[in-house]
């Protein structure tokens, strides 16, 4: 049994802004199911403290980090038997808004101080300085918010082994040199091969430099971030550490996402009863006020309205598709210009285009089950989860062949037909997306082709269990390497 401290800034269902929260719940649970002793460490945001009070918690330690008193609370992740630790420091974490931004959408001015304190608490737990009678063998950190943990641990000779997972390299935790000095970090860390990055402090660089092993969320993305186009200035460092970088495809929670038992669906189906999927289609059309047309191909999009997700590309091609009789349902929010463009387009195509701003978990499930084609024109996608939800639900994905999308969606023209499960395009441009959608519509209108692709997709294993085994292998490797250093 390996003792793992899983350090993260968000975890579902306690607090979620993106896919990191899903991974931070599902991977520890999968590790726990494979008999590993996993504890999650999370900042004590208001939602987290409320969940702890509801779920029951024990105050386990009183710490002082600089001028801040900190209480460590032990509870369980809701719906799981995995231990959850909360870093209760009201001056830094008891705030409105989301974990990283205020209610106006601006980053908290003291984010560096907030996540530096979080890292110091993680380090104390890792080094047995929190008096908890539990010391991890491995500390698994995630994204820039935890990037200082391996840095602070590095000076301890008998420290645990460290893993750092890159979920999205575009978010790096960059702060000024003045902020670096205010954190009290050693001046020796202000070097180009440590924390300094073009005159700024880079939290994520700390994780990349000082961790024993690096992972990211798909094999495709692991290759992409080693190149300038998606390396965001860190590709040289990542190429230098490529021997210690592994791409492991994320899984999905197959209990929450199961067309046979999904509580958000009024009708259920499986791979042997795909005709019942049509009822989910009718339910969705009725809910979002689309025309009750059984012949019109129905497209879906669920995601953030930002350039990365390619919402602009979808809005650009939609008129041509809607004019040919297609329907589309869109769920998401983000940049106001994209929200306004989507709403205006829906007003031009009543009964054929539905746009719901915001996020609605129930509607996301209903879209995944009810549409015929799920569109993901992302310009880059470290892993992507929606395409795996779609595959599991027998909904054919149409995706830009990047990152994790390249690793999960395969078009008949690129692979043997018994491996094909969707449609892809290679350039994030209007003609390429339109051509892929045209091929997808042609394939969908051929029942034999459609059903074979659906069956191939639904037969895939998208669970976390095989992924967890890959992480356990990495834990064992770095533990052995760490022990050999200590023994020498």
Mutual orientation of helices 19-33 and 465-487 as an angle, nearest 10°? 80
Average pLDDT over residues 255-278: 96
The predicted structure's pLDDT at residue 340: 97
CATH number for the domain formed by residue range(s) 274-458 = 3.40.50.2000
Q: Which distant-in-sequence residues (6+ apart) come within 8 Å of 20 by Cβ?
A: 8, 9, 10, 142, 143, 167
| pLDDT > 80? residue 487 | no
CA–CA distances in Å: residue 309 to residues 22, 92, 112, 299, 319: 18, 31, 27, 16, 19
Q: What is the pLDDT of residues 395-452, one digit of tens each?
A: 999 999 999 999 999 999 889 999 999 999 999 999 999 999 999 999 989 999 999 9
Q: What is the pLDDT of residues 292-313, one digit of tens each?
A: 999 999 999 999 999 999 999 9
Going by the annotation, the residues of the binding site for ADP-alpha-D-glucose are 16
The predicted structure's pLDDT at residue 413: 86
Give percent above pLDDT 90 in the chain: 89
**Distance separating alpha carbons of residues 326 and 324, to the nearest angstrom:** 6
The predicted structure's pLDDT at residue 178: 98
The predicted structure's pLDDT at residue 488: 67
The predicted structure's pLDDT at residue 209: 99
What mean pLDDT, rounded, does the chain reach? 96
Residue 228, φ and ψ in degrees, nearest 5: -55, -35
Q: What is the pLDDT of residues 343-353, one digit of tens each?
A: 999 999 999 99
The predicted structure's pLDDT at residue 160: 97
**Distance separating alpha carbons of residues 481 and 286, to the nearest angstrom:** 58
Q: Which distant-in-sequence residues (6+ apart) come within 8 Å of 349 by Cβ?
A: 319, 322
Hey, CA dihedral for 48, 51, 55, 57, is it positive or negative? positive
Mark residue 403 as left, alpha or beta (left: phi above 0; alpha: psi -120 to 50; beta: remaining).
Answer: left
| pLDDT > 80? residue 388 | yes
Q: What 3-state DSSP class applies to 175?
A: strand
- CATH fourth-level superfamily of 3-251+465-487: Glycogen Phosphorylase B; (3.40.50.2000)
The model's confidence at residue 204, banded by pLDDT at 50, 70 and 90, is: very high
Q: What is the pLDDT of residues 166-182, one digit of tens each?
A: 999 999 999 999 999 99
- Burial (CB < 10 A; 0-12, 13-18, 19+), residue 484, is exposed
CA–CA distances in Å: residue 36 to residues 9, 231, 479: 21, 33, 14
Going by the annotation, the residues of the binding site are 16
The predicted structure's pLDDT at residue 70: 97
Q: What is the pLDDT of residues 228-260, one digit of tens each?
A: 999 999 999 999 999 999 999 999 999 889 999
Q: Which part of the chain is CATH 3.40.50.2000?
A: 3-251+465-487, 274-458
Q: Which distant-in-sequence residues (6+ apart) come within 8 Å of 285 by Cβ?
A: 291, 292, 293, 298, 327, 370
The predicted structure's pLDDT at residue 112: 98
Q: Which tokens in the block code for residue 43?
A: 């900042």
Strands 68-76 and 83-88, by their bridges, are antiparallel
Give percent above pLDDT 70 in the chain: 100
pTM > 0.75: yes or no: yes
Strands 3-7 and 138-142, by their bridges, are parallel
């Amino acid at each position: 049994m390996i003792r793992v401290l899983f350090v993260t800034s968000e975890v579902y269902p306690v607090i979620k802004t993106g896919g990191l929260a899903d991974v931070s719940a599902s991977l520890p649970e999968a590790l726990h199911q494979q008999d590993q002793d996993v504890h999650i460490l999370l900042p004590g945001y208001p939602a987290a403290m409320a969940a702890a009070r509801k779920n029951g918690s024990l105050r386990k330690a009183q710490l002082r980090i600089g001028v801040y008193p900190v209480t460590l609370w032990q509870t369980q992740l809701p719906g799981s038997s995995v231990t959850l630790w909360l870093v209760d420091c009201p001056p830094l974490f008891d705030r409105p808004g989301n974990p990283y931004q205020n209610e106006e959408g601006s980053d908290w001015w003291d984010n560096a101080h907030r996540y530096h304190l979080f890292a110091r608490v993680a380090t104390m737990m890792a080094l047995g300085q929190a008096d908890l009678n539990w010391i991890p063998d491995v500390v698994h950190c995630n994204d820039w918010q935890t990037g200082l943990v391996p840095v602070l641990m590095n000076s301890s000779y008998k420290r645990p082994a460290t893993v750092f997972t890159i979920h999205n390299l575009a978010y790096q935790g960059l702060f000024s040199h003045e902020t670096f000095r205010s954190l009290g970090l050693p001046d020796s860390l202000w070097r180009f091969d440590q924390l300094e990055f073009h005159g700024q402090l880079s939290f994520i660089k700390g994780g990349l430099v000082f961790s024993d092993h690096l992972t990211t969320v798909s094999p495709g993305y692991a290759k992409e971030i080693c190149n300038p186009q998606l390396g965001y200035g860190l590709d040289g460092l990542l190429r230098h550490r490529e021997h210690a970088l592994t791409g492991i495809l994320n899984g999905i929670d197959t209990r929450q996402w199961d067309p046979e038992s999904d509580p958000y669906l009024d009708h259920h189906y499986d791979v042997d009863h795909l005709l019942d999927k049509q009822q989910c289609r009718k339910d969705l059309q009725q809910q979002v006020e689309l025309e009750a047309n059984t012949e019109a191909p129905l497209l879906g999009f669920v995601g953030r309205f930002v350039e990365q997700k390619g919402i602009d590309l979808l809005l650009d091609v939609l008129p041509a598709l809607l004019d040919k009789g297609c329907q589309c349902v869109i769920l998401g929010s983000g940049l106001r210009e994209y929200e306004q463009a989507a709403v205006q387009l829906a007003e031009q195509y009543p009964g054929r285009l539905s746009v719901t701003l915001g996020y609605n978990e129930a509607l996301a499930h209903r879209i995944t089950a009810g549409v015929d084609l799920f569109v993901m024109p992302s310009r880059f996608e470290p892993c992507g989860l929606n395409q795996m939800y779609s595959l599991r639900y027998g909904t054919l994905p149409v995706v830009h062949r990047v990152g994790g999308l390249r690793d999960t969606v395969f078009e008949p023209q690129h692979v043997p037909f018994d491996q094909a499960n969707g449609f892809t395009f290679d350039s994030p441009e209007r003609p390429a997306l339109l051509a892929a959608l045209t091929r997808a519509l042609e394939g969908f209108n051929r029942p034999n082709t459609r059903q074979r692709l659906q069956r191939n997709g639904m037969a895939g294993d998208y669970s976390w269990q095989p992924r967890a085994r890959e992480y356990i292998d990495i834990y064992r490797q770095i533990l052995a390497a760490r022990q050999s250093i200590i023994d020498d």
